[in-house]
Amino acid sequence: MRRALIALTLLLGACGGDAAEALPADEAREQLLDRNWIDVWPESKDEQLHVYRFVPSMGGGVFQDRTVFEGRFELFQFEATGDEIRFHFPGPEERETRAYRIEPVDGPAPFTHRLVIEDDPRGPGTYYGWNERQTASPFLQ
């Protein structure tokens, strides 16, 4: 059931159905930072997922294409306004600027926010975040 709810939420997000109103620019930038953004909540240790984390205090961010226990990662530098992310991927020396928005969502649990990156340079473009201080990470279960 939980997997079906997540799939339905992802489908609605991709189709634009019942989209919540995007957060104001300054709040969106604040919510973007220092949290995991995942495309699916893994139901098993072998389920594939994509993760972004934007951490200015560490000098950049990381994109991961992974399962719970293993995968591929790519470090990047970024600048974010309230509606645009300027990515610099130093490995392949790529620079990309993409529009983004963050919308509040009411689940499925534990999700509280949806990040949509237009024409995402690395992953599926729709990710979900939660209040990490209140909900355990799926990577530690």
* Range name among 15-19, 24-28, 63-67, 106-110 with the lowest pLDDT average: 15-19
What confidence tens digit (pLDDT) does each residue in 22-81 have? 999 999 999 999 999 999 999 999 999 999 999 999 999 999 999 999 999 999 999 999
Which residues on neighbouring strands pair with residue 98, listed in sequence order? Answer: 85
- As a whole number, the mean pLDDT across the chain is 86
* Range name among 15-24, 82-91, 125-134 with the lowest pLDDT average: 15-24
CB contact at 8 A, 116 and 104: no
What confidence score (pLDDT) does residue 15 get? 37
CB contact at 8 A, 136 and 67: no
pLDDT classification of 5: cutoffs 50, 70, 90: very low
* Range name among 15-24, 65-74, 95-104 with the lowest pLDDT average: 15-24
Percentage of residues in the chain having pLDDT higher than 70: 80
Measure the CA–CA gap between 66 and 12, rounded to whole angstroms.
24
Residue 25, classed as helix, strand or coil, is helix
Residue owning tokens 């699916």? 40
pLDDT classification of 109: cutoffs 50, 70, 90: confident
Q: Is the pLDDT of residue 133 over 80?
A: no
CB contact at 8 A, 111 and 120: no
Q: Is the pLDDT of residue 18 over 70?
A: no
